[in-house]
Amino acid sequence: MAVIRDVMAAFELFQPTSVADAQKLLEQHGPDVWVLAGGLDSFDWLKDRIKKPKVVVDLSGIGELRGVRTLGNDGGDGIEIGAMTTLTEVVNHPIIKQKYDLLAQAAELVASPQIRNQGTIGGNVSQDTRCWYYRSGWPCYRAGGNICYADAPEGRNREHAILQADRCVAVNPSDSAPALIALDAKFVIRTRKGERVVDAEDYFVGPDIDITRLHILQPGDLLTAIRIPSTWAGAQFYFEKIRDRNVWDFPLMNVASAMVTSGDGSPGDGSARTIDRIRISVNAAAARPLRLKAVEDAVRGKPRNVATGEMAGKLAVQGAVPLQFNTYKIPLMRNLVKRAIVGAGSATEEATWAS
């Protein structure tokens, strides 16, 4: 099916200046509304005329949705990031860099500086999948059809899922999502019934829950903020993103971990430090970012060394089912998880993937 690149279809534009006004518009127009944050995902849909909303609500004029705020006395309870805070602000904010650098690392690897200047943290976690069949308007399962073109015998599926596929094999493309899951972040959502706070890992859904979306937002809902508790402030962080090009590209896969260790020694030797607490998450392996709870349980109390990393990597890929062109994702995920445990400098096996 050819993509029609033409002027955007006409829509009614609203630019509220408060969350309350935005909520009223969302409730008034229901499923006809398209919520516009930074616009980088939205304008792709609108310019290609694949999505043709009747109403667009632009959030850029709502000041209360921007900025980083400390929670509790001197930030002792963590921070809150407005959903419309740009990725550049996240990367450069001194408290985030000092205490929650995992998120800064992830945000800095999103696309290019120009895109980070415009793109928002709320938009990055709420963007749609980049499967080219779906984005080009093919009538696949996710678009309401009855086939997954990427999983068909002639399908091209190099970037697609190896885990938790259910009819649709598209993946979540966010870089900030796994970092927020590793930091045990909470997402604040305004709904018709009031404010709802959910764990970051529960914000995302796979096709077994809802094949038409990657997150839990329903018509009328609005993501307003992301809260990061102080639980993991100053922990040992690891983030790595593998992509075809060093700029712009979405991840072939990424990994994020937050870890607290004790004891003497260093990774890679017989006296390695012991892993006391850990959270680890990967993305672009499935339709939703995956928290690897089984890996966390397996390595807790173990030495932070190569042997533990290798065990974690093998456990992480159990149940993976590759497609015709993405078998490389299994060793890639195995090695990324290993490196997230041990650290890149101590891993003896580099992550490899097919060109």
Residue of higher predicted confidence among 3 and 250: 250
Q: What does the alpha-carbon distance between residue 322 and residue 170 come to, in Å, rounded to a whole number?
A: 13
Is the pLDDT reported for residue 82 higher than 80?
yes
Which CATH number applies to 1-62?
A: 3.30.43.10
Q: What does the alpha-carbon distance between residue 299 and residue 112 come to, in Å, rounded to a whole number?
A: 35
Number of H helices, E strands in the chain: 13, 12
**What tens digit of pLDDT does each residue of 238-297 get?**
999 999 998 889 999 999 999 999 986 655 454 579 999 999 999 999 999 999 999 999
Q: What is the mean pLDDT of residues 218-226?
A: 97
Q: What is the mean pLDDT of residues 319-330?
A: 98
CB atoms within 10 A of CB 322: 16
**What tens digit of pLDDT does each residue of 85-130 get?**
999 999 999 999 999 999 999 999 999 999 999 999 999 999 999 9
CB atoms within 10 A of CB 143: 17
Q: How far is CA 133 from the centre of its chain?
A: 21
Query: With contact defined as beta carbons under 8 Å apart, do 290 and 280 qualify?
Result: no
Q: What is the mean pLDDT of residues 154-171?
A: 97
**What tens digit of pLDDT does each residue of 14-51 get?**
999 999 999 999 999 999 999 999 999 999 899 888 99
**What tens digit of pLDDT does each residue of 163-213 get?**
999 999 999 999 999 999 999 999 999 999 999 999 999 999 999 999 999
- pLDDT, position 47: 87
**What tens digit of pLDDT does each residue of 188-197 get?**
999 999 999 9
- pLDDT, position 271: 54
Mean per-residue pLDDT of the chain? 93
- pLDDT, position 245: 92
CB atoms within 10 A of CB 2: 6
| Domain layout of the chain by residue ranges | 1-62, 237-283+290-342
Helices (H), the chain: 19-29, 42-47, 87-92, 94-99, 101-108, 113-118, 121-126, 132-135, 176-182, 200-203, 293-299, 306-316, 329-342
Topology of domain 237-283+290-342, per CATH?
Enolase-like; domain 1 (3.30.390)
Q: Which of 155-159, 245-249, 343-347 has the lowest mean pLDDT?
A: 343-347
- pLDDT, position 247: 82
**pLDDT grade, residue 226 (50/70/90)?**
very high
Is the pLDDT reported for residue 348 higher than 60?
no
pTM comes to 0.94
Query: With contact defined as beta carbons under 8 Å apart, do 22 and 57 qualify?
Result: yes
Which percentage of the chain shows pLDDT scores above 90?
Answer: 88
Q: What does the alpha-carbon distance between residue 4 and residue 317 come to, in Å, rounded to a whole number?
A: 39
**What tens digit of pLDDT does each residue of 5-15 get?**
567 899 999 99
Q: Which amino acid is at 263?
A: G
- pLDDT, position 4: 55
